[in-house]
């Protein structure tokens, strides 16, 4: 199969690209810095594309390269993403806009630009044509202080469900793969994000933040587990459309059915000791 996979510079994208290439697929992997593509250069079936998902022109240019190659495009995996944390009350406008620009509007823009090629593949008789969106457990439930990231992944879930229903008549499937915490550089990138807490009424959270991130990182699943799930979903005909990839994922599926006040209690356990009123 021919697959477009965004964000192969590190983490889930890099591991998934390797796995798909080793399985014999042709992978167009996107990076923002050309040097990041060198890690995959030894695979003859790998082609690097330069793409920033927040720049429409760069998405168009990348898709044009695939169109010019003349092979059908079977699958798009929207993996690029960032995690912005902080209290919703204080998070700065450029930061909250960036969260949505990358995770939501970037995903949508890649879908829009790639869909003509996916429709063309169907018209040429290709089977198993689909979009796979990398969402998150944060697209199922909302933890405090990563609520903005969560809202972006809830949007990714809605885009996934909506697109699947809109594209069903055209024989194009759309599914999401939602990992729980995974050992990737995204955690280190999140570590320095203290601006939204400092000097605000939420400063007391800061002392808990690094230990929390560290303990989450410790309980995180290996990146290879997520890569295997994405490969499985890419290759499967009509896979389950909402794939939650984490230990005890069933607990999350139950938790999100609970009454909201009960869900609050689960999330507020740690904050309770610091109640301010």
Ligand X SMILES: NC(=O)c1ccc[n+]([C@@H]2O[C@H](COP(=O)([O-])OP(=O)(O)OC[C@H]3O[C@@H](n4cnc5c(N)ncnc54)[C@H](OP(=O)(O)O)[C@@H]3O)[C@@H](O)[C@H]2O)c1
Hey, which residues are catalytic here? 149
Give the x-and-dash track for 208-247 against ligand X (CB under 6 A): ------------x---------------------------
User: Is the Cβ–Cβ distance between 113 and 167 less than 8 Å?
Assistant: no
Q: How far is CA 121 from the centre of its chain?
A: 24
Quick count: other Cβ atoms within 10 Å of Cβ 81? 26
**Spatial distance between the Cα atoms of 117 and 170, rounded to a whole number of angstroms:** 13
DSSP 8-state symbol, 239? -
Contacting residues for 277 by C-beta, under 8 A, at least 6 apart = none
Torsion sign over Cα 130, 136, 139, 141: positive
Binding of residue 72 to ligand X (CB under 6 A):
no
End-to-end CA gap in the chain: 58
The site for ligand X, by CB under 6 A, has a size of 30
Q: Does 29 interact with ligand X (rule: CB under 6 A)?
A: no
Tell me whether residue 110 or residue 117 sits nearer to ligand X (CB atom).
110
Contact between 190 and ligand X (CB under 6 A)?
Answer: no
Minimum distance between the CB of residue 259 and ligand X, rounded to whole angstroms?
26
User: According to CB under 6 A, which one of 3, 73, 163, 186 is a site residue for ligand X?
Assistant: 186
Give least dist CB 231 to ligand X, A.
15
How far from 277 is each of 88, 144, 274, CA to CA, in Å? 19, 18, 9
CA gap 256, 249 in Å, rounded: 11
Could you tell me which of 210, 217, 180, 179 has the C-alpha nearest to residue 194? 210
In whole angstroms, the minimum distance from the beta carbon of 133 to ligand X comes to 9
User: Does 151 contact ligand X by CB under 6 A?
Assistant: no
Distance in Å, CB of 58 to ligand X, minimum: 8
Nearer to ligand X, 81 or 239 (CB): 81
The binder of ligand X chosen from 1, 2, 4, 11 (CB under 6 A):
11
The answer to the question of residue 52 lying near ligand X (CB under 6 A) is: yes
From CA 27, how far away is CA 45, in angstroms rounded?
A: 6
CB of 207 to ligand X, least distance (A): 22
Piece of the chain touching ligand X by CB under 6 A; list 62-70, 79-87, 247-255, 262-270? 79-87
Closest to ligand X by CB, 134 vs 163, is: 134
When the beta carbons of 10 and 142 are compared against ligand X, the nearer one is: 10
Task: Give the burial class of 179: count Cβ atoms within 10 A of its Cβ; 0-12 exposed, 13-18 middle, 19 or more buried.
Answer: buried
- Residues near ligand X (CB under 6 A): 6-7, 9-13, 32-33, 36, 51-54, 79-83, 102, 134, 136, 179, 181-182, 184-186, 189, 220
């Amino acid at each position: 199969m021919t697959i477009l996979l965004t964000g192969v510079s590190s983490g889930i994208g890099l591991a998934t690209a390797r796995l798909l290439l080793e399985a014999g697929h042709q992978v167009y992997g996107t990076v923002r810095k050309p040097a990041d593509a060198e890690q995959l250069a030894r695979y003859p079936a790998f082609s690097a594309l330069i793409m920033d998902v927040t720049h429409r022109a760069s998405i168009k240019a990348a898709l044009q390269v695939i169109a010019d190659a003349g092979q059908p495009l079977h699958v798009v995996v929207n993996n690029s993403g960032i995690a912005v944390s902080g209290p919703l009350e204080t998070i700065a406008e450029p930061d909250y806009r960036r969260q949505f620009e990358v995770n939501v509007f970037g995903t949508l823009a890649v879908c829009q630009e790639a869909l003509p090629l996916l429709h063309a593949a169907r018209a040429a008789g290709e089977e198993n044509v689909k979009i796979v969106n990398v969402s998150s457990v944060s697209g199922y439930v909302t933890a405090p202080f990563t609520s903005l990231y969560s809202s972006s992944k809830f949007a990714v879930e809605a885009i996934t469900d909506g697109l699947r229903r809109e594209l069903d008549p055209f024989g194009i499937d759309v599914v999401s793969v939602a990992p729980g915490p995974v050992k990737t550089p995204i955690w280190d990138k999140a570590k320095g994000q203290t601006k939204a807490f400092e000097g605000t009424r939420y400063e007391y959270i800061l002392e808990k933040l690094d230990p929390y991130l560290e303990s989450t990182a410790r309980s995180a699943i290996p990146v290879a587990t997520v890569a295997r799930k994405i490969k499985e979903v890419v290759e499967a005909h009509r896979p389950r459309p909402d794939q939650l990839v984490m230990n005890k994922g069933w607990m999350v599926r139950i938790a999100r059915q609970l009454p909201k006040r009960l869900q609050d209690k689960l999330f507020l356990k740690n904050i309770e000791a610091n109640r301010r009123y």
